[in-house]
Amino acid sequence: MSMRADPRFLAELQAYGAANIEACFNCGNCSAVCPLSSEGDSFPRRMIRYAQIGMKDDLLSSKELWLCYYCGECTKTCPRQADPGEFMAAARRYAIARYDRLGLARLLYTSPILSALFLAVLAVMIGLVVYSFHGPMPESTLRLFEFIPADVVHNLGVIAGIVIGILAFWGLANMVMQVGKEIGPIRGIRYNWLGAAWEAFGLEALGQRRYRQDCETYSEKQPWYIQRWFIHASILWGFLGLLLATALNFLLALLGIKATGTWVPIWYPIRLLGTIAGVLMVYGVTVAIIKRLRKTDEGSAHSTPSDWSFLILLWLVGMTGFALEVAVYLPQPYAWSYWMLIAHMAIASELLLLLPFSKFAHAVYRTAALYLHALKPLPEAEPAGAGAAE
């Protein structure tokens, strides 16, 4: 079997953050200390070797690339200060950029100035599009969805959802086909399809099992509410909860049960879901920002511009959402509430449109890799009467 090596691969990969990986002499210490590495999944050592000798396709085809949670134990114990944890993160950024055929992910990960300019221009453009549909600003009572009609919000949401869905599916299909080269063809239907889905989506993505049970055992003893797994989970749970609350609001409006923007008390189920989810997300993002500012552990010691832009956008979405929540309960309407709605919609739309190219894509690809990792053929059933014949 021939091997394709690209001598320019290592230099290309370093543009995504793998600055010190040339120092690695492949001692294997990183794989030995990694709580998630096993005999069958020898990372990050194998991934580093692929990079050093230019085996680009092999690196992109490795599901192990997505199994790492960047606990930083390998970086802390590396005798050559090669920073294998940051290498794994950089390799994932590179993979996201390769799965994206538009080239936007590459821009976001490798060009800080152009990336910041693009994000600013995109937010302004979305804000102007939203504002172009504006109506009057009622002064007697706060009516946000008379200022920006609810139909406009719904229609823009549907269009954005379709675009995001197409781009996300495109990238995910590229990723699955690439990883499928290593796994090989799946023949027949006797696989643990549902069991693998529960393990990947329920236990790992939502339950954070490996991160919580394995990776955290190597970190300093901290209260559960500031441990890395909980911060990671808070952001994920919060964002998914907000998406669910938004989708349910849209569904109720579609069914004619509750019009968008109709006042309901805080304990109304969907509103309560959105509030709790928002608190979770803002809490997780705020602690993550503090950890990165203080560089409290190996996992937060390296922050790329794409890390900061992602966290800042999430934080702004949460805080503008809470500002609107407060505005609803104020005794009189204020003009800033209407402008806050435009800002919230612009930032939220930008965040969602960037989903296939940002760290959200990371979460999607990791879940897909965990699913493929958990997918196993079922044992063949014994023929009826086989035991009796013996």
Burial of 331 per CB tally in 10 Å (0-12, 13-18, 19+): exposed
What is the helix (H) or strand (E) element at residue 224, kind and residue range? none
Over its length of 390 residues, how does the chain's per-residue pLDDT go in tens digits?
Answer: 456 777 888 888 989 988 788 899 888 899 888 888 777 667 888 899 999 899 999 999 888 899 888 888 898 889 999 999 999 999 999 999 999 989 999 999 999 999 999 999 999 999 999 999 999 998 888 889 889 998 888 888 888 889 899 999 999 999 988 888 777 767 667 888 899 999 999 999 999 998 888 886 545 568 889 998 999 999 999 999 999 998 898 888 888 888 777 778 888 899 999 999 999 999 999 999 999 999 888 778 888 999 999 999 999 999 999 999 899 888 888 899 999 999 999 999 999 999 899 888 988 999 999 998 888 888 865 555 555 544
Token duo for residue 240 = 């998914």
C-alpha pair distances (Å), 74 with each of 37, 44, 101, 316, 330? 11, 8, 32, 33, 51
Where in the chain are the domains? 9-99, 104-374
Residue with tokens 């939203």: 130
For residues 382 and 390, give the distance between their C-alpha atoms in angstroms, rounded to a whole number: 12
pLDDT at residue 256 in the model: 84
Tell me the CB-side half-sphere exposure of residue 353, using CA atoms within 13 A: 18
What is the secondary structure of 19-71 as a DSSP string?
Answer: TTGGG----SHHHHH-SS--SS--TTHHHHHHHHTT-HHHHHT-GGGGT----
H runs (alpha helix) in 184-268? 193-197, 209-213, 228-254
Token duo for residue 158 = 């549907």
Q: How many helices and strands (H and E) does the chain possess?
A: 19, 0
For residues 308 and 292, give the distance between their C-alpha atoms in angstroms, rounded to a whole number: 9
Contacting residues for 191 by C-beta, under 8 A, at least 6 apart: 375, 376, 377, 378
Q: Taking the model in full, what pTM does it have?
A: 0.90
- Dihedral (CA of 215, 221, 224, 227) sign: negative
Q: Which residue type is seen at 317?
A: V
